[in-house]
């Protein structure tokens, strides 16, 4: 609870969390934004703390209009939610989908369901299925395009882990 209180002390009125990235504090990755949102949200749900849930909702809301119809969202943001990247951080996409599915479950707001579904559909289109390498098939790349800024040319296991979390969350919506 104290950790979430500390995090909320870093949250601006527009939902953005300061000091939320080790590599570029001025423009955090969607991955670290996703960590913050999910941690605050799940703590709020488990503790029955509506203020925490509202803080997560406030942090997710500015991202909703930035997710394209095809599930693309930039991988970094400045404090005013202006994109700081032309590429996507696919780990962050999956994390945001999980957060949006959970916010839909808690709030009933269909906008979260719509965005989560677009994000997951976008990830499905980017999942590597036919590389011929069993170590890669089924994986999600770090970035889209693959040679972009996050885990360049890599398939981090945590990207696929969050993708699976998002698929499970999507399945719970049915």
Residue 35 has pLDDT above 90, yes or no: yes
Give me the pLDDT at residue 22, please.
86
Residue 78 has pLDDT above 90, yes or no: yes
Average pLDDT across the chain, whole number: 96
Q: Are 101 and 137 in contact (CB under 8 A)?
A: no
Cis omega (within 30 of 0) for bond into 145: yes
- Within 8 A by CB and 6+ apart from 7, the residues are 17, 36, 39, 40
What pTM was computed for the model?
0.96
pLDDT digits (tens, 9 = 90+) for 142-163: 999 998 989 999 999 999 999 9
Rounded Cα distance between 139 and 24, Å, is 26
Residue 32 has pLDDT above 90, yes or no: yes
- Within 8 A by CB and 6+ apart from 157, the residues are none
- Within 8 A by CB and 6+ apart from 117, the residues are 170, 173
Q: Are 55 and 99 in contact (CB under 8 A)?
A: no
Give me the pLDDT at residue 67, please.
98
How remote is the C-alpha of 13 from its chain's centroid? Answer: 19
Give the domain 2-172 fold.
Glycosyltransferase (1.50.10)
Work out the pLDDT band at 174, boundaries 50, 70, 90.
Answer: confident
Return the minimum-mean-pLDDT range out of 37-41, 109-113, 152-156, 161-165: 152-156
Q: Structural domain boundaries of the chain?
A: 2-172
């Amino acid at each position: 609870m104290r950790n979430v209180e500390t995090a909320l002390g870093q949250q601006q009125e527009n939902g953005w969390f300061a000091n939320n990235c080790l590599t570029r504090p001025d423009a955090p990755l969607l991955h670290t934004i996703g960590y913050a949102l999910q941690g605050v949200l799940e703590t709020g749900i488990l503790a029955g703390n509506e203020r925490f849930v509202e803080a997560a909702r406030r942090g997710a809301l500015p991202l909703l209009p930035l997710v394209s119809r095809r599930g693309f969202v930039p991988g970094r943001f400045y404090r005013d939610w202006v994109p700081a990247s032309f590429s996507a951080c696919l780990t962050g996409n999956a994390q945001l989908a999980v957060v949006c599915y959970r916010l839909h479950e808690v709030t009933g707001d269909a906008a979260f369901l719509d965005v989560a579904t677009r994000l997951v559909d976008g990830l499905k289109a980017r999942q590597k299925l036919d590389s011929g390498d069993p170590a890669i098939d089924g994986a999600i790349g770090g970035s889209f395009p693959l040679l972009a800024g996050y885990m360049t040319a890599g398939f981090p296991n945590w990207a696929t882990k969050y993708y699976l979390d998002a698929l499970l969350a999507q399945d719970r919506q049915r």
